[in-house]
Structure 1
């Protein structure tokens, strides 16, 4: 299903750790590669990596640069194409603003969370995408901090498996959700 433009944001702050404390989580190479590849496969135009930590911004930019320029790009052109979607921003607000500025119009942020049973269905989200550009927001660590959910933004239902176990990696959840948003 096509629709309005789509972007993905991977939030590293504010997120929760296993104790429920607000933290800045670590950027991982696997998340960058896998989410960028899923985003590109499903037509997302941008992949915002949200972190206020300057060292992590430098790491993300170094990884992307390696695969998008020089030897890395020549070695694996498909990976370069996916990693070109990456843009680092210091906050979720900056991601929303950047996506709106790129499109020249408002976007609808869509929050995700495995522990959020109150979200809209994938079918309803597909309908929203038919009408509005979306920014699909994923949290790292143990999920987005509660204050993000207090903004009044749309929340998507969680990915549900076959039992009560629900602890997917963010990159697996992103791939599943991107796929489900493209089913007709």
Structure 2
């Protein structure tokens, strides 16, 4: 894999609701497929789904089995390839420990947010940083109304926001992941 030093994650907890309170968001089947596909396309190491609720984990794991081992793997082998990139964990800590066990060190955290922070970097800067194959990187994507500021602020880097011409700025995690991964890893840069 070309970018085997890069992981991504979709964080269901902690997430914020529209009042800014910490909540656990629900997994959607669209997140499974529509995030796994660009992870496979851009040849990243893996896609972690951070979901602490056992009932939600059960649903995710059943889908994984269907698409990677069951009828779905034969019906649509490309979805099976993308599904093989998905890992399910209960917490951010568990995810970090798994990456350390696999790669021998903790990853540098790259946050995503709809606003700027002191450690915000441009996509061009991050493309250069990611070329350092001696480092391991983990891109964090929030759900709901985003990740809590405490989590985003703890990241080593934060990618600049995705901005349109107006003031509306509330993309789905699927859209944000596809846009960001394309900006960082596409060979067809404008």
Task: Please classify the TM superposition score into its range, dividing by the shorter chain length.
Answer: over 0.9
> Could you tell me which residue of structure 2 aligns to residue 109 of structure 1?
109
* Contact 1:4-1:134 within 8 A present in 2 as well: no
How far did 1:117 drift? 5.4
Matches of 1:108 and 1:33 in 2, distance apart? 25
Matches of 1:158 and 1:100 in 2, distance apart? 28
How far did 1:149 drift? 2.3
> Could you tell me which residue of structure 1 aligns to residue 151 of structure 2?
148
Q: CA RMSD in A?
A: 1.6
Matches of 1:130 and 1:37 in 2, distance apart? 22
Secondary structure in structure 2 of the residue aligned to 1:63: helix
Matches of 1:158 and 1:29 in 2, distance apart? 25
Matches of 1:75 and 1:175 in 2, distance apart? 24
Matches of 1:4 and 1:74 in 2, distance apart? 26
Matches of 2:155 and 2:68 in 1, distance apart? 37
How far did 1:4 drift? 5.8
Matches of 2:149 and 2:73 in 1, distance apart? 39
How far did 1:152 drift? 4.5
Secondary structure in structure 2 of the residue aligned to 1:102: helix
* Contact 1:48-1:88 within 8 A present in 2 as well: yes
Q: How many residues align?
A: 183
How far did 1:7 drift? 0.8
Which of 149, 172, 175 aligns to 1:172? It is 175
How far did 1:158 drift? 1.1
Matches of 1:130 and 1:3 in 2, distance apart? 9
> Could you tell me which residue of structure 1 aligns to residue 76 of structure 2?
76
> Could you tell me which residue of structure 1 aligns to residue 164 of structure 2?
161
Q: Provide Cα deviations, 1:87-111, integer angstroms capped at 9, x if missing partner.
A: 1111112212212221123321101
Gaps of 5+ in 2: none
* Contact 1:4-1:129 within 8 A present in 2 as well: no
> Could you tell me which residue of structure 2 aligns to residue 128 of structure 1?
129
Q: TM-score, normalised by structure 1?
A: 0.93
Matches of 1:4 and 1:125 in 2, distance apart? 16
* Contact 2:4-2:43 within 8 A present in 1 as well: no
* Contact 2:4-2:44 within 8 A present in 1 as well: no
* Contact 1:49-1:89 within 8 A present in 2 as well: yes
> Could you tell me which residue of structure 1 aligns to residue 12 of structure 2?
12
Q: TM-score, normalised by structure 2?
A: 0.90
